[in-house]
Amino acid sequence: MASDANGLAARTMALRTRRIDACPMCGSTTVQRAFTLPDRLHGVPGQFDYDRCNCGAVYQNPRIIPEDLSRCYPSAYYTHASGAPAAPADRGPSKTRMWLRDAITRSRRGERQATLPAVLGMLLGASRWMRERAFYGLLDELIPRRPENGRALEIGCGAGHLLELLHKNDWKPEGVEWDSAAAAVARQRTGQEAAWCSRFPTHGAWARDYSAGTGSTGTHRGTW
């Protein structure tokens, strides 16, 4: 552990950064310093500045250039492991369990169903714990709440754990991941070309119903 930490410190001693002149979300130059923080995830040396735009976006500025991002992660970073925990496994094809799950999920999605399952789905679905169990452990905030399948973009998808779980719950997920090793694991894990090793795209074709910022984009090293 100590040797890995020492190796990370050595790799990050000369990280290169680039100043951003305008908000990467809206292009505005009306921004102000929001806060300065250290890296609390991996202990990368130094302090990192964040700016806040009038549109609400908060971003690192100056930010680490793309070519140096991989140096911010320890060599044993968990997203490189294909054997990392998968989506919570279902306990089995119990007819009663599946019937109750169907009642809850259809109730959450607003789908029409018979009176008994509709009532049970509404009552059981009032509990966050029951809702999350019905959707295979997906966080309540990410549970789909309409009949049609939505599209999700996870920014910093790592090895694809959340992509896999979103797909299991009928989202149409896609992911962006800077780390090529983690992106390769995500593609293997999801069985589809759902993760790209590239920067966050900005054109309109990438509009999604839900956008999650995790991994490298959820911490100070993220870029848009």
Q: What is the pLDDT of residues 13-52, one digit of tens each?
A: 678 899 999 998 889 999 999 999 988 877 888 889 999 9
Whether 17 is in a domain gets the answer yes
Would residue 167 count as lying in a domain? yes
Say whether pLDDT at 139 is over 80: yes
Residues 67 and 106 in one domain: no
Domain assignment present for residue 207? The answer is yes
User: Per the structure block, which two tokens stand in for 31?
Assistant: 């921004």
DSSP string, 11-48: HTTT--EE---S-TTT----EEEEEEEE-TTT--SSEE
8 and 71 belong to one structural domain: yes
In this predicted model, which residue has the larger pLDDT, 54 or 201?
A: 54
Q: Is residue 211 part of a domain?
A: yes
Residue 44 lies in a domain: yes
Q: What is the largest CA-CA distance in the chain?
A: 65
Does position 86 have pLDDT exceeding 60, yes or no? no
pLDDT in tens, 120-129: 888 888 888 9
Scan for tokens 């169907």, then name that residue. Answer: 102
Confidence at 89, pLDDT banded by 50, 70, 90 = low
Query: Do 120 and 62 sit in the same domain of this protein?
Result: no
Q: 165 φ, ψ to 5°?
A: -70, -40
CATH assignment of the domain containing 195: 3.40.50.150
Share of the chain above pLDDT 70, in %: 71
Is pLDDT of 176 > 80?
yes
Whether residue 51 contacts residue 26, with contact meaning beta carbons closer than 8 Å, is answered with no
- Any idea how long the chain is? 224
> Which pLDDT does position 196 carry in this prediction?
62
Token representation of residue 96: 């009663």
Same domain, 6 and 72: yes
The answer on 198 and 166 residing in a single domain is yes
- When mean pLDDT is compared over 8-17, 80-89, 131-140, 210-219, the highest value belongs to 131-140
**C-alpha span between 106 and 114 (Å, rounded):** 11
Beta bridge partners of 36: 49
Most confident region among 6-10, 11-15, 43-47, 203-207 by mean pLDDT: 43-47
Task: Please determine, for residue 174, whether its predicted confidence score (pLDDT) is greater than 70.
Answer: yes
Q: Total structural domains in the chain? A: 3
Residue 89 lies in a domain: no
Closest CA to 161 of 200, 130, 195: 195
Q: What separation in angstroms does the CA of 197 have from each of 32, 95, 180?
A: 30, 41, 5
Average pLDDT for the chain: 75
Cα(84)–Cα(186) distance, rounded to whole angstroms?
11
Higher pLDDT, 98 or 76: 98
181 has a pLDDT exceeding 60: yes
Residues 156, 125, single domain; the answer is no
Query: Which range of residues forms the domain containing residue 176?
Result: 149-218
Domain identity same for 6 and 43: yes
